[in-house]
Amino acid sequence: MFKNKIVLLGTILTGLFILSLSLHKENHNQLKAEEKISKITLPKASYTSKTSVEEALSQRRSVRKYKDGPLKLEELSQLLWAAQGITSDWGGRTAPSAGAKYPLEIFAVVGKVENLKPAIYRYHPQDHTLIKIKDKDQRGALFSASLYQSPVKEASVVIVITAIYRRTMEKYGERGIRYVHIEVGHACQNIYLQAESLNLGSVEIGAFEDAKVKKVLNLKKEEPLAIMPVGKRDSGD
C-alpha cells in the first residue's frame, strides 16, 4: 500500500512539472509573438490625485449613462493601470493575486478615445502598452453579446476583464477558481475608484453571453468575467 502511494505521488508531481513547463513555454511563445507586433505606448500613470481614497469610496456609484464625448488617452492609461498596472520592481500589481500568479488579462474596446483609433486592444502591464488585436469600433458587437445593455454601446471605451484560470490552478488546483473570482472583484473596484477620481462613470456588467464575447475579442485561452463600460458622466444619471 505504501509503495503504491509513493508511485501515485511521483506520478502527480511529474504531471505538475510537465504542466509547469507547458505553461512556461506557452507564455514564452506568446511574448515572442507579441514582440513582433507594433505596440502603442501609453502615457505614464499618475500616482497622485486630488481625490482621497475615502472620497472615492464614499462617492462611488454605478453609472449607466454617459455623455457623447471622447476620453483622453491619459484617462484610459490611468484606468488600465488601476486595473492591473505594475507597482513594484518584482512585478507586483495594483490588484492582489493569489500566489502572484496574475491570471487576469485586460482588453479595451475603444470607441472614442483621443489619439487612439477605434479598435480592440490588449493591455500589457509589463511595459504599460497596448496591442491592437482587432480593427474598427467593436462596441456594437459587444453590445449584442452583452444582452443589449445600453452602457456598452454608449460608453467611450469598454474594459473587458478576462482570466486564464490555469495560471492560478497550477498552484491551487480547483480552489484556484475561487481565487480568480476574488481577484476580478479587486480589479473591478480599482477601476470604479479610479473612474471616480477622474470624474468618469462606470458600471460592472456580469450578464453577457460568454461565447459571443469570446468571439468579439478573439479570445482563445481567456474566459470573460466582467465588462466595465466607462464614459464621461451624464448629469441625468
Give the per-residue pLDDT at 234. Answer: 84
- Rounded Cα distance, 78 and 120, in Å: 17
Residue 78: HSE in the Cβ half-sphere, 13 Å Cα cutoff = 20
Q: What is the overall mean pLDDT for the chain?
A: 90
Alpha helices in the chain (DSSP H): 2-35, 53-59, 73-84, 139-145, 150-154, 165-172, 175-197, 210-217
Give the mean pLDDT of 88-117. 98
The pLDDT of residue 115 is above 80: yes
Mean of pLDDT values over 168-174: 98
Give the residue extent of every domain in the chain.
1-36, 39-232
Q: How many CB atoms lie within 10 A of CB 76?
A: 27
pLDDT at 123 exceeding the cut of 80: yes
For residues 96 and 187, give the distance between their C-alpha atoms in angstroms, rounded to a whole number: 9
The lowest-confidence range among 15-19, 136-140, 177-181 is: 15-19
Per-residue model confidence (pLDDT) at position 3: 54
What is the C-alpha separation between 204 and 99, in angstroms, rounded? 25
CATH code of the domain occupying 39-232: 3.40.109.10
pLDDT for 131 equals 98
On the CB side of 113, how many CA atoms lie within 13 Å of its CA? 26
The C-alpha atoms of residue 203 and residue 179 are separated, in whole angstroms, by 22
Tell me which DSSP letter residue 174 carries: T
User: Alpha-carbon torsion 144, 66, 138, 158, what sign?
Assistant: negative
- The arithmetic mean of pLDDT across residues 116-140, rounded, is 98
pLDDT of residue 17: 46
* pLDDT at res. 236: 55
- Calculate ∠ Cα 144-147-151, nearest 5°: 80
Cα–Cα distance measured from residue 230 to residue 143, given in angstroms and rounded to the nearest whole number: 14
* 2, pLDDT greater than 60: no
Q: pLDDT (tens digit, 9 = 90+) per residue, 209-229?
A: 999 999 999 999 999 999 999
Taken as a whole, the chain contains a residue count of 237
Q: What is the pLDDT of residue 217?
A: 98
Whether the Cβ atoms of residue 163 and residue 104 lie closer than 8 Å to each other: yes
36 pLDDT more than 90: no
C-alpha cell at 68: 457623447
Q: 8 or 176: which carries more pLDDT confidence?
A: 176
Phi, psi of 37, deg, nearest 5: -95, 140
**CB of 152 closer than 8 Å to CB of 158:** yes
Cell of 114: 483621443
Residue 21 has pLDDT above 50, yes or no: no
pLDDT reading at 19 higher than 50: no
Q: How distant is the alpha carbon of residue 237 from its chain centre?
A: 26
In this prediction, residues 79-89 reach a mean pLDDT of: 98
The arrangement of strands across the sheet holding 223-232 comes to: 40-41, 129-135, 119-124, 104-110, 157-163, 223-232, 200-202
pLDDT at res. 37: 72
Residue 1, pLDDT > 60, answer no
